[in-house]
Amino acid sequence: MKYVIGLTGNIGSGKSTVLRMLEQLGAKAIDADNLAHELMRKGTSVSQAIVDAFGDVILNPDGVIDRKRLGSLVFDDREALGRLENIVHPAVDERFREIIQEADEQVIVVEAVKIIESGIYPELSALWLVTCPAEERLRRLLETRGVNEEEVRERLKAQMTEEQQAQLADVVIDNSGTAPETWKQVRREWNKIRRREWSQD
């Protein structure tokens, strides 16, 4: 049996950092956003469905979906965001299931902001939440991505709070400190998984 971890956390919390740590320990790492990007490439059924829903205005001159332009259309429009998610999320979930079946690794980790709201949430072996204080998340985003502060604050407000997510999480990784401190927590939880696997062999 595969052990499937759903890795989530709000923007800037450090999900990708924890994903890379788990990958180094031997897990199969999957970034849901990369899957969505793959499924939205020119010529796919998902790409066509998005164009049908939002029009040619979201396309670059070469016919590829401009993700920033698409994002600006749905950012403040819940109905539009819902339409987009109803197209993309089922396709991402299906591709994720295929990857699980194909993977040689026993532990698979998928990183996604909205994994709790996704169709694969009930299929997870465990939900991991990466936390970090909101102001520290904002500081990191401003320093590393050069994003607009007001836009980031709006995006943070639109996401589930850490407190809401923590009520559902099986594991909480505090990523507010140093990298070695985060590594210590990840290794501890990884060892629990390995002990569980060995006990079932």
Residue 114 and residue 183 share a domain:
yes
Q: Tell which phi-psi region holds residue 100, choosing left (phi > 0), alpha (psi between -120 and 50) or beta.
A: alpha
- Which residue range forms the structural domain that includes residue 55? 34-104
Question: What total of structural domains would you count in the chain?
Answer: 2
CATH classification of the domain holding 81: 3.40.50.300
Query: What DSSP designation does 122 have?
Result: G
pTM of the model: 0.85
Final residue of a domain: which of 74, 104, 134?
104
Q: Are residues 165 and 184 in the same domain?
A: yes
Which residue in the block uniquely carries the two structure tokens 């956390």? 9
pLDDT exceeds 60 at position 160: yes
Among candidate residues 87, 104, 121, the one where a domain is terminated = 104
Average pLDDT over residues 27-44: 92
The verdict on 42 and 139 lying in the same domain is no
Domain stops at, among 69, 88, 104: 104
pLDDT in tens, 58-115: 999 999 999 888 988 887 788 998 899 999 999 999 999 999 999 999 999 999 988 8
**CB-based contacts of 200: which residues, under 8 Å, 6+ apart?**
none
